[in-house]
Structure 1
Amino acid sequence: MTKQLTIVVSRKLCVLELPADSQLRLLSGKVWLTETGRPEDFVLEAGAEHRTRNAGKLLLDAQDEARVEIRPGIDESVKTRPLDGIAA
């Protein structure tokens, strides 16, 4: 069975460490996302999906509450922590 996790992002930068080929699906709200090894940033709205290309850090931020479903890739490990000291 595939493991999945749903997180809430709201007014605080969220740092995820994900394996390559992880899938994110935005259930509600709107998030800004940047991924290790990719020069472009992404803005996802409810219903949008994003698949990671590389293993590493993923940064998520939202002005208002957003719910994100995460299905980790190959090694199925997910670590999250808020990044203190970042102004919303």
Structure 2
Amino acid sequence: MPLVVPGINSSLGDKSEWVNKLMGKKISDSTRDETTFAKTDLPKSHRIVKSGDMLTTDHDPNRLTVHTGDDGTVQNVTYG
């Protein structure tokens, strides 16, 4: 199995870039402001999962996964 290193093997860039953009913000359909990030600005290959959601086990190193809390605030950002 090949080694996958976000930012090197991924076409999405460095994970820290997305962490800086998203952490602590809420995801909205189209609103953009200091506390909200628009879904339309996320990469084409992404998924938003809430705490406790079931996830598929397929691994896609080019998919951004945005983990949110029950209130919709971004708590973590990963690739896969």
TM-score by length of 2: 0.27
* Structure having the higher Rg: 2
Q: Which one has the bigger helix percentage?
A: 2
Bigger relative CO (Cα 8 Å, ≥ 6 apart): 1
